[in-house]
Chains A and B, each alone.
Chain A
Amino acid sequence: MNSTIHHAPYIRHTESSRTIMSDAAIALVPLYFMSYFYYGSRVLLVGGVSILTCLICDWICGYLLQRKLNLRDLSAAVTGIIISMMVPPAVPLYVVVAADLFAILVCKAPFGGTGKNLFNPAAGGLAFATICWSNQMFLYTQPLQRLPMQLDETVTYLQGPTATLKLGGIPRLGLTELLLGNFPGPLGSTFTLIILACLIYLIARRAIKWYLPVSFLIPVAMIAAYNHPFGVSPLESVANELFAGSLLFVAVYMLTDPATTPKYNISRILYGICAGILTMVFRYISPLEMSAVFAILLMNALAPAFDCFCEWLLPKMQPVNNETALDEGGNQQ
Chain B
Amino acid sequence: MIYLTEFFSAFLTAVMMENLLFTRAIDIPNLYKKRSFQQTLIVGALLTGIVTVSSIPAYFLNGLFKSHAAFVPYMTLSFLLLNGAVFLGFYFGIRRFLPKLFSLMEKFLPFYGVNCVTLGTLLIAARLSSGTKFLSFFGYCFGSGVGFTIALLIMWSIRQKMSLSHTPKTFRGLPITLIYLGIVSLALFGLIGNQLPA
Direct A–B touching, Cβ under 8 Å: yes
The docked-state distance in angstroms from the alpha carbon of A285 to that of B16 is 10
Question: Quick check: is A217 within 8 A (CB to CB) of the other chain?
Answer: no
Q: Which residues of A contact B175 (CB under 8 A)?
A: 110
Query: Which of A34-42, A192-200, A206-214, A291-299 has 4 or more CB atoms under 8 Å from chain B?
Result: A291-299
Question: Quick check: is A112 within 8 A (CB to CB) of the other chain?
Answer: yes
B-contacting residues, A148-167, CB 8 Å? none
Q: Which residues of B contact A286 (CB under 8 A)?
A: 190-193
Q: Is the CB of B187 within 8 A of A297?
A: yes
Residue interface mask B1-45, A partner, CB < 8 A = 1? 000000000000000110000000000000000000100000000
Query: Which of A7-15, A80-88, A238-246, A300-308 has 4 or more CB atoms under 8 Å from chain B?
Result: A300-308
Q: Is the CB of B191 within 8 A of A308?
A: no
Q: Which residues of B contact A174 (CB under 8 A)?
A: none
The smallest beta-carbon distance between B181 and chain A, in angstroms, is 10
Question: Quick check: is B194 within 8 A (CB to CB) of the other chain?
Answer: yes
Q: Secondary structure at chain A's binding surface: helix, strand, loop or mixed?
A: helix
Q: Is the CB of B190 within 8 A of A282?
A: yes
Q: Is the CB of B191 within 8 A of A285?
A: yes
Q: Is the CB of B194 within 8 A of A134?
A: yes
Partner of B160, one of A116, A119, A134, A308: A308
| Known A305-B153, A305-B157: A127·B176 in contact at CB below 8 Å | no
Question: Quick check: is B92 within 8 A (CB to CB) of the other chain?
Answer: no
Partner of B179, one of A110, A134, A301, A303: A110
| Known A65-B168, A118-B162: A291·B179 in contact at CB below 8 Å | no
Q: Which residues of B contact A127 (CB under 8 A)?
A: 186-187, 189-190
Question: Quick check: is B161 within 8 A (CB to CB) of the other chain?
Answer: yes
Q: Is the CB of A298 within 8 A of B193?
A: no
Question: Quick check: is A130 within 8 A (CB to CB) of the other chain?
Answer: yes
| Chain B residue at minimal CB-CB distance from A294 | B190
Q: Secondary structure at chain B's binding surface: helix, strand, loop or mixed?
A: helix
Q: Is the CB of B191 within 8 A of A116?
A: no
Q: Which residues of A contact B56 (CB under 8 A)?
A: none
The smallest beta-carbon distance between B180 and chain A, in angstroms, is 6
Q: Is the CB of B154 within 8 A of A301?
A: yes
Question: Quick check: is A107 within 8 A (CB to CB) of the other chain?
Answer: yes
Q: Is the CB of B186 within 8 A of A124?
A: yes
Question: Quick check: is A266 within 8 A (CB to CB) of the other chain?
Answer: no
| Known A110-B179, A111-B176, A297-B184: A304·B166 in contact at CB below 8 Å | no
Q: Is the CB of A131 within 8 A of B168?
A: no
Q: Is the CB of B183 within 8 A of A119?
A: yes
Question: Quick check: is A287 within 8 A (CB to CB) of the other chain?
Answer: yes
Q: Is the CB of B190 within 8 A of A301?
A: no
Q: Is the CB of B190 within 8 A of A293?
A: yes
Q: Is the CB of A297 within 8 A of B193?
A: no
A-contacting residues, B138-193, CB 8 Å? 153-154, 156-158, 160-162, 165-168, 171, 175-176, 179-180, 182-184, 186-193
Q: Is the CB of B183 within 8 A of A297?
A: yes
Q: Which residues of B contact A302 (CB under 8 A)?
A: 154, 157
The docked-state distance in angstroms from the alpha carbon of A294 to that of B154 is 15
B-contacting residues, A93-113, CB 8 Å? 106-107, 110-112
| Chain A residue at minimal CB-CB distance from B184 | A301
| Known A119-B183, A293-B190, A298-B188: A110·B168 in contact at CB below 8 Å | yes
The docked-state distance in angstroms from the alpha carbon of A130 to that of B166 is 30
Question: Quick check: is A128 within 8 A (CB to CB) of the other chain?
Answer: yes
Question: Quick check: is A223 within 8 A (CB to CB) of the other chain?
Answer: no
Residue among B171, B179, B188, B191 facing the most chain A CB atoms (10 A cut-off): B191
Q: List 15 A-B contacts (CB under 8 A).
A: A110-B168, A110-B175, A110-B179, A111-B167, A112-B167, A112-B168, A118-B158, A118-B162, A119-B180, A127-B186, A134-B194, A282-B190, A285-B16, A287-B192, A302-B154
Using CB atoms and an 8 Å cutoff, list the residues of chain A in contact with chain B.
65, 106-107, 110-112, 116, 118-119, 124, 127-128, 130-131, 134, 282, 285-288, 290-291, 293-295, 297-298, 301-305, 307-308
List of 7 A-B pairs having minimum Cβ-Cβ separation, nearest first: A294-B190, A297-B187, A305-B157, A287-B193, A304-B161, A304-B160, A298-B187
